[in-house]
Amino acid sequence: MSESTRMRDQPALTTSPGTSWIVVAAVTFALCGAVFVLLIPEAPVFGWVAIGVLATLLVAMLVVRYAVRPGPRRLVPLAVLYCSMVGFALIAVLAVGAGAIAGSGT
């Protein structure tokens, strides 16, 4: 018997209760938040806004986890919100880095 390897058939998107998405998102928030706290001296407004956006996405994940019925209707939005969190953090760090490079004149 062969198991499906399609992304949409994975347990994290079909049968998980969603707690693993919340735990991973909380760890990601802590790590990314720490990076943005360290970037606050370089770009204070941008750092605080980035932390706020990440916190908002984490809260949205918590709302989805506890307000939406189990199954893919809960897990797909959790996955999308988590990917949004990671993608936003990457873009924000790159933007701060690009601003620092542009500001230094090199």
**Number of domains making up the chain:** 1
How many Cβ atoms are within 10 Å of 106's Cβ, its own excluded?
5
Question: pLDDT digit of tens for each residue in the chain (106 aa)?
Answer: 556 666 555 665 666 778 899 999 999 999 999 999 998 888 888 889 999 999 999 999 999 999 999 888 888 899 999 999 999 999 999 988 887 777 765 5
In a domain, 99, yes or no: yes
In a domain, 63, yes or no: yes
In a domain, 7, yes or no: no
> pTM for this one?
0.82
Give Cα separations from 7 to 61, 89, 97 (angstroms): 20, 23, 33
Q: Contact at 8 Å (CB) between 51 and 92?
A: no
In a domain, 66, yes or no: yes
In a domain, 12, yes or no: no
Domain of 99, in residue numbers = 17-104
In a domain, 3, yes or no: no
